[in-house]
Amino acid sequence: MAIRERMSGNEAVAFAMKQINPDVVAAFPITPSTEIPQYFSTYVSNGEVDTEFIAVESEHSAMSACIGAQAAGGRAMTATSANGLALMWECLYIAACSRLPIVMAVVNRTMSGPLNIHNDHSDSMGARDSGWIQLYSENNQEAYDNMLMAHRIAEHPSVMLPVMVCQDGFITSHAVENIELVEDDKVKAFVGEYNPVHYLLNRDNPISMGPLDHFTHTFEHKRQQAQAMMNAKNVILEVAREFEKLTGRKYGFFEEYRTEDAETVIVVLNSTAGTVKYVVDQMRKEGKKVGLIKPRVYRPFPVDEIASALSRFKAIAVMDKADSFNAAGGPLFTDVTSAMYAKSVFGPKVINYIYGLGGRDVRTDDIELVFNNLLKIVETGEVGSVYNYLGVRE
């Protein structure tokens, strides 16, 4: 029977880590993810886990230590935010190309500069092409659940890639919500033991890691990474089906909310989806056919599935909490429209809104404005501006 509890998002993630009991956690504090290693270090000091906790001098060292631990044959985890993720930059690529299934909690925060500790998605979006699987979480429950599924995905023999589990800084990381926890023994049975085939401390099959490739092998190794990311799609769904049997909670590549007869939808990541759901419910009472699509899996990007889902609607707004500074649109928008074009989905009108940068609040009336603009597009057939900003003082 599930355990009912009240936890912040950070505590929920740390509790999942405690239940998993990894071999190594290496971390350096950075707001708003600091509480995760702080909570976990308490579990270590209380003897609730037998994890080797390494308090390092920087985030670069944290990821380097995780790489070393995972390469040696252990299960490694860490947590970070924003500039800490940026300081890991070269190590992110090394972890991915070395096919090391490290799991990292990313508590989304604005990338400096200017210096800002509040939430947007510029940190993880900047790392979207580093070779890491990326899962996004609307609330504390999803952050916890995604952490429990992450190792199963990462360590699958056909995947062997690192995973980021993302949640919104302060909005979910520090907000206390009701949550259902899985019992410790069931978590251990679900996650299982990590038994790598190739690792540095295997004296029966000695290997080296991180060799110099040059042009003779780099292309082939990158192609293998790309195939592993493609393979991850089936594994993510397979793990989600097993998780549903365990908990009753169903996950896919994305969630559809009140889309059955919708004419317009908003596509948005993480906690803003909760605000959109509220507005959808209010506008539905007025007879307006609006809905939501909330991606959970951003890497690998579910091209076929999201293009198929979006083909049913007349007008779509993709909301990005990060700007690509490409004069064309945000990262989620460009991936969504690319998927639609690739699959010959040309009917719906698609617009982009950049919102919430630096932690700027997104209110219900902001969401209503987006939906009303979409309904106007449906009525008139005229799109106007495709690349828009929401809630900024122009």
Query: What domains appear along the chain, each with residue ranges and CATH number?
Result: 3-247 (3.40.50.970), 254-390 (3.40.50.920)
Instruction: Tell me what the mean pLDDT of segment 53-61 comes to.
Output: 98
Percent pLDDT > 70 in the chain is 100
Task: Kindly tell me if the per-residue pLDDT of 83 is higher than 70.
Answer: yes
**Spatial CB neighbours of 384, under 8 Å, sequence gap ≥ 6:** 377
Residue 151 has pLDDT above 70, yes or no: yes
Whole-number average pLDDT of the chain = 97
Residue closest to 264 by CA, chosen among 224, 303, 291: 291
Confidence of residue 121 (pLDDT cuts 50, 70, 90): very high
Bridge partners of 167?
A: 107
| The pair of three-digit structure tokens given for residue 341, joined into one six-digit string | 């074009």
Pick the closest to residue 64 from 36, 34, 90 (CA basis): 90
pLDDT at 356 over 70: yes
Of the pLDDT bands very low, low, confident and very high (cuts 50, 70, 90), residue 210 is confident
Task: Give 54's pLDDT tier (boundaries 50, 70, 90).
Answer: very high
Is 154 in contact with 70 (CB distance < 8 Å)?
Answer: no
Q: What is the pLDDT, as a whole number, of residue 1? A: 64
Whole-angstrom Cα distance, residue 224 to residue 226?
A: 5
- Inter-residue contact 99 to 126 (CB < 8 Å): no
Band (309; pLDDT cuts 50, 70, 90): very high
**What are the pLDDT digits (tens) for 122-143?**
999 999 999 999 999 999 999 9
Measured in whole angstroms, the distance separating CA 161 from the mean position of its chain's CA atoms is 14
Strands (E), the chain: 3-8, 24-27, 52-55, 76-80, 103-108, 133-136, 163-168, 176-181, 254-257, 264-267, 290-295, 297-299, 315-320, 349-355, 387-390
Question: Looking at the predicted structure, is the pLDDT value of residue 304 above 90?
Answer: yes
Rg (CA), the chain: 21
Q: Are 264 and 225 in contact (CB under 8 A)?
A: no
The pLDDT assigned to 389 comes to: 98
Is residue 179 within 8 A of residue 140, CB to CB? The reply is yes
For residue 228, give the H/E element and its range. Answer: helix 214-247
Which has the closest alpha carbon to 125: 331, 336, 360? Answer: 331
Residues 281, 331, 104: CA angle, nearest 5 degrees = 90
Lowest model confidence (mean pLDDT) among 65-69, 207-211, 378-382? 207-211
Q: What is the pLDDT confidence band of residue 276, given thresholds at 50, 70 and 90?
A: very high
Provide the pLDDT confidence category of residue 209 given band limits of 50, 70 and 90: confident
Of 60, 78, 71, the C-alpha closest to 22 is 78
